Structure 1
Amino acid sequence: PRPSLGAVLSSPIAPYKNAKGKPKTGDARLYRILMTESAYLIWKLRCERVIGGAENPNRPQATPQEVGARWLQTINERLRTDCLMTNTSKYGKKALNKTLVERTWEGTLRNEDNLPPDW
């Protein structure tokens, strides 16, 4: 099914639980990241089309390949930010927990088995 505005707005409180009823923080966090980053990209693309189209009506719209590449870039930037935010010497107590970042992104990375232990 297509995500609705309600699904996007309620994504921060999506209930992801395991078979025992305990919260699956990694899955819930990944869902929240994907929904909010995707909605923000859609908004940016629309603004580019509407505002940019007013200035240049002959400007071609983004192709599905361009949209896919921009989405992948957005998600990769978020992954990189998550990895950088685990630096406890730089961020101290505000640093992200490495286990949380690993749980969030597990199963989504290419060649995940070949990554170093402290990626």
Structure 2
Amino acid sequence: MDAEFSKPGSTEDRLTAALVAKYSAVFDMLQSPHAAQMMEDKGIYAGHAFEMLNTDVARRIERMTAEADYDNPSALTRLILSCASGIQKHARTRTDLAHDLKTVVHALLTTWKYH
């Protein structure tokens, strides 16, 4: 995911690539026949690591949108991540997941106000 955040390209392209990488990994994990056990183990063994990852992703998105001069990057970040989480929970395929994340990021970034 580091590569997606730091690669050349527009804010929209980098943000979409990073979200697709993050949420595709979660999607793949949840497709496993052992998903329930992994989620339980996540809470027991890796809950803090997942929280740190989510916090890091949020900070990177907020920084990225601030540097691109969007108004209220904190609110924009919360909205992006809320949408991404819902998309991941309801996606039927990885292709749908990627398409829907791209659609939402595009819609939010093109309609959100700049400074």
TM-score by length of 2: 0.36
Structure with larger RCO (C-alpha < 8 A, sep 6+)? 2
Asked which structure has the greater CA Rg, the reply is 1
Higher helix share: 2
